[in-house]
Structure 1
Amino acid sequence: MDALDPSGPAEDAMHLMAHTMGRLLQDPTATFEQITASWPRNNDQTAAEIRRWWHGW
């Protein structure tokens, strides 16, 4: 995965969600934890927010 856009958290979240949706298209049986394991570690706050949204959905 390429570097995240440094312009702000909204762009980071969009990038992570696009990555997540792409992964689900490749493997619809992937768990959220499997998908997020490949997320960059420098974006833990945005990842945590998306995890809360995902599990609350």
Structure 2
Amino acid sequence: MNTVTIGLFAGLLLGVAAAAGGFWGFVVAVLLGLVGAAVAGQASGEIDVTAVLRGRDRE
């Protein structure tokens, strides 16, 4: 498993632990899973989050 997959699992587990179930619990778990995957991808160098947050330079 690569670090993005591990980060995704970690985020999903935190989401399940933080949410008590239902639709909103599912939404929270998915959002935290995506955040975990993004952080792990940034840490491993597979994803460049700063480029996404910076946006395009207009010339």
TM range (shorter): 0.3 to 0.5
TM-score of the two chains, using structure 2 as the length reference: 0.41
Tell me which structure has the larger Cα radius of gyration.
Answer: 2
